[in-house]
Structure 1
Amino acid sequence: MRDAFDRLSSRIARMVGSYLAFLVACAVIIIWAASGTWFGFSDTWQLVINTGTTIVTFLMVFLIQATQNRDARATQLKLDELIRAVTDARATFIDIEEGTERDLDTAEAEFRQSRSHDDASGRATARSRRKRAGGD
């Protein structure tokens, strides 16, 4: 059941994210607006578009969240693999997304300090790394 939902949500997300879906949505709004004179701009006429857009919005929230969760997880796994593959990388960063806000703040401060140190030492650091790797 979960695999079917994943496949369906991916397919729907691709479809509703296309220009064709946008054009269809615009066409629906134009047809609805144009039909207002025929229905006398009644409460029922307004209720149709309000109900329709509410239902679509409600369902899209869950669909978007599901695809965002899957994409974020895949991205995190790719980053974890890159961290693991880089010899100078610290393994503590592999699961940092599971940490607290304080853990993230501490790591960010370390990177900021490291970046300012790298800026102070200039391009020599990057050049020496490339030489060690055989890049120059």
Structure 2
Amino acid sequence: MKILSLILLTIFIGAGCSSQKKADMTSTVIEYSAMSRGYYKKIVVQNQTVSVTNGRDAQTVENKIEKANWDKIIAEFEKIDVEKISTLKAPTEKRFYDGAAIGNLKITQNQKTYETQGFDNGFPPKEIEKLVNLLTDFVKE
């Protein structure tokens, strides 16, 4: 009887932890922006919704994210150590001579904001590359 109680308790605790992780994603805001003198793009993802702004004076377009795409975003987000994204190094430096727009990833989670250093739009640090590519895919659709 004690063993059965221990097994059930373990299952309930495990289920509680996994639902807590998903609950955290509902309040997490992931924001990708890219800008230069003549270019502006901002993508904000929160709670299965994406908002895209293509241009400084453009209207923001908001859409619901399909479950399959949302699951991909969550999977890639969970691989990132948000505490360390401010230390990531950009693989290229085209933004220094106007060869690329400046990209930036900002994550707001549990009322804390984590932000990368600027990197070339289209060439994010490898640690966040898959997540950034998933976000920029919303602009291509």
Question: Is TM (by shorter chain) over 0.5?
Answer: no
TM-score (norm 1): 0.29
Greater share of residues in strand: 2
Instruction: Mark the structure with the bigger radius of gyration.
Output: 1
Considering Cα pairs closer than 8 Å and 6+ residues apart, tell me whether 1 or 2 has the greater RCO.
2
Greater share of residues in helix: 1
